[in-house]
Amino acid sequence: MAAELVTPVDELSGLPLPIAPTEYILPQESPNFADWHHHFHPASHEDMKSIGGIAIRNCRVQLVARRDHNEGPSSYHRFYSGPPIPEEENDQFSLTVLACAGYIPSQAIDLRSGEPKVVDLSHTQQKILRQRQDVFGYRNLRYAYDPIRSFYTEYSMSRDISCLNEIEIEEFLTTKDELRQKFLGHFLLAQVVKIASEDVHAKYIAVRRAGLLHPFMPAEPYSLVKYKLGANGRREELFPRLGQRFKEQYGIAEAA
């Protein structure tokens, strides 16, 4: 049977619904028994070849039993051709932010009857999906960091930043004081990230208040996005790119 169904998505977040988890612990290092299901697929889809599309592809994968994933008569990939793939960068950004923040839908795709159906997750199934691997991450849901960092960098640098303080930008570009430049760089980069995060801000706040995110997620999405750009040293590697972006936005000519 050719896979023809469109994967259902969560109405609140737009994320594809997970496969209803088994009620026993799956081994992470036993590929003959369990493997990782990419919620956004197929990888060959035209809209997953851009930097945002690659981030979408890798923003949520789920540890599932192979019989539920791609083996057996009632496995997921025998039924579903994939979910809608967002074309617009702002939609890709919002979805990846919610995925990285640990959003868990209230429903899932149940395959146990031989035909897929959307069901409400039980308390036990919710608990399984929320089981922690470490302080900030889940055991059975994960994402790939490098594609997310690359996309967030490009997305943040492409926003309209004309509202920023030109005096602070000029000082950042011209000061010879290394410590002052680092301070301004971190401050201005945070402002750029905050601008980039505006579109997802209201939804992030709402779902966080509803308890649908990982409990240790920050209060606002821009803090999460800034964190995904890396620790201080890695963010400082972006300062030359930030400076070039300011020159482009404000029409500042290169020094002779």
Quick: pLDDT tens for 203-216. 999 999 999 999 99
pTM reported for the whole predicted model = 0.94
- The number of residues making up the chain comes to 256
How are beta strands 141-142 and 117-120 bridged, if at all? unpaired
Mean pLDDT over each residue of the chain, to the nearest integer? 94
Compute how many other C-beta atoms are within 10 angstroms of the C-beta atom of residue 207.
Answer: 18
**Which of 71, 95, 75, 46 has the alpha carbon at shortest distance from 221?**
95
Judged against a pLDDT cut of 50, whether residue 256 lies above it is answered with no
Other residues' Cβ atoms within 10 Å of the Cβ of residue 206: 11
Tokens of residue 184, six digits: 């301004």
CA distance 165 to 210: 35
Nearest CA among 19, 188, 195 for reference residue 108: 19
Q: What angle do CA 235, 169, 233 make, to 5 degrees?
A: 15
**Confidence class for position 249, pLDDT limits 50, 70, 90:** confident
